[in-house]
């Protein structure tokens, strides 16, 4: 594995990243000590923000691959409600949920964990989930072949070489994560699922640099700039120069962090509606409205958020099921109590 040429990455960019990371220091300390993000769905203390960020990540990553399910439909699947959608797309979502629930168990330096992640992500979708491909594979744009991956018998060697470089290289983790992402897609080690696993793995690598990356996953960055992402991969392949893709990804990471600079990662008692990482979370908007008036009704929320009453009622139901709010007293004279310990 060739070392990435550091001359392509200027020192002032390092300084910019360092400055932005420092703005998150108090929040990252909170993340490390609170344990709020280390619980799976269904347990009382799983952070509401983390759960909804995870939904956005799953939706974004699968949408890149052509999955049409919305965030609302993914929420329904998580909460066990029936939806009408193609069986394969539902299976993709279920697999992604299981995979991201294992996020904290994956070691980004382990090939075995990579295979485990692929097995969970592609269960019932491909015959060889969790195993490297046995045949040739190409990447197409329409009918045009834009990349022919290395022969299948070279895949184990190339992947092991890539992971060895990842562990031993003294390059900055920002660069290493981008190099890994590009080289992984170039090798294309699986018959299917390479894109979603490659993006997941870059997020895992970046998580070793700073915990903010669990909340700003690569999947979301790519989803917002899909065409530019694929263009960068293709240009790097044509030029036989991964630096093009690396520069693109570093810029995406930088711009995303810059936009989120100073924004809290996990909600606390005093946060506003635009909490977290600009996730557009209606549930959290409901919580904020209830903080201002604990007798706010579903109808009032629907009017404020410009959504249907049915949608508003589902938001209340979701918050109740997650233990975030509880009803005290009757529907007419009672009020909503916010369980702040669940939000932290």
Q: Which of 260, 292, 310 is the last residue of a domain?
A: 260
Query: What DSSP state is assigned to residue 273?
Result: S
Based on the domain organization, do 203 and 299 belong to the same domain? Answer: no
% pLDDT > 70, the chain:
77
* 1 within a domain of the structure (yes/no): no
pLDDT at position 271? 35
Based on the domain organization, do 323 and 231 belong to the same domain? Answer: no
Tally: H helices and E strands in the chain: 16, 4
- How does pLDDT run across 182-239, given as a tens digit for each residue? 999 999 999 999 999 999 999 999 988 887 787 677 777 788 888 898 899 989 988 8
305 Cβ neighbours under 8 A, 6+ residues apart? 282, 285, 286, 312
Number of structural domains in the chain: 2
Based on the domain organization, do 48 and 90 belong to the same domain? Answer: yes
* 243 within a domain of the structure (yes/no): yes
* 268 within a domain of the structure (yes/no): no
CATH code assigned at 246: 1.10.3290.10
Based on the domain organization, do 158 and 188 belong to the same domain? Answer: yes
* 67 within a domain of the structure (yes/no): yes
Based on the domain organization, do 169 and 299 belong to the same domain? Answer: no
* Of residues 188 and 47, more confidently modeled: 188
Q: Where is average pLDDT lowest: 110-119, 136-145, 294-303, 332-341? A: 136-145
Q: What is the dihedral of CA 35, 36, 40, 42, to 10 degrees?
A: 130
The parent domain of residue 12 ranges over: 6-260
Based on the domain organization, do 149 and 222 belong to the same domain? Answer: yes
* 267 within a domain of the structure (yes/no): no
Q: Which of 197, 230, 260 is the last residue of a domain?
A: 260
């Amino acid at each position: 594995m060739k070392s990435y040429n550091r001359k392509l990455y200027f020192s002032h960019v390092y300084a910019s990243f360092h400055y932005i990371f420092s703005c998150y220091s108090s929040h990252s300390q909170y993340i490390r000590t609170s344990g709020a993000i280390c619980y799976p769905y269904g347990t009382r203390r799983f952070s509401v923000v983390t759960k909804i960020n995870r939904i956005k990540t799953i939706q974004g990553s699968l949408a890149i691959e052509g999955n049409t399910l919305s965030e609302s439909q993914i929420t329904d699947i998580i909460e066990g409600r029936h939806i009408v959608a193609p069986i394969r797309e539902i299976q993709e979502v279920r697999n992604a949920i299981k995979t991201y629930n294992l996020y904290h168990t994956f070691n980004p330096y382990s090939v075995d964990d990579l295979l485990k992640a692929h097995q969970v992500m592609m269960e019932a979708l491909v015959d060889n989930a969790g195993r490297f491909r046995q045949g040739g594979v190409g990447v197409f744009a329409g009918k045009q072949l834009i990349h022919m991956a290395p022969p299948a018998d070279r895949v184990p060697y190339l992947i092991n070489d890539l992971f060895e470089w990842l562990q031993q290289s003294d390059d900055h983790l920002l660069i290493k994560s981008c190099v890994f992402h590009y080289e992984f897609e170039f090798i294309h080690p699986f018959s299917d699922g390479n894109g979603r696993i490659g993006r997941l793995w870059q997020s895992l690598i970046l998580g070793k640099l700073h915990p903010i990356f669990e909340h700003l996953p690569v999947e979301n960055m790519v989803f917002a700039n899909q065409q530019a992402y694929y263009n960068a991969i293709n240009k790097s392949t044509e030029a036989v120069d991964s630096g093009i893709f690396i520069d693109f990804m570093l810029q995406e990471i930088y711009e995303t962090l810059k936009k989120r600079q100073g924004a809290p990662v996990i909600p606390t008692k005093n946060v506003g509606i635009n909490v977290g990482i600009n996730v557009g979370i209606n549930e959290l908007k409901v919580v904020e409205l209830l903080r201002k008036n604990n007798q706010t009704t579903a109808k009032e929320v629907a009017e404020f958020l410009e959504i249907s009453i049915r949608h508003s009622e589902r938001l209340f139901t979701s918050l109740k099921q997650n233990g975030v709010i509880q009803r005290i007293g009757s529907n007419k004279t009672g009020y909503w109590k916010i369980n702040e310990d669940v939000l932290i």
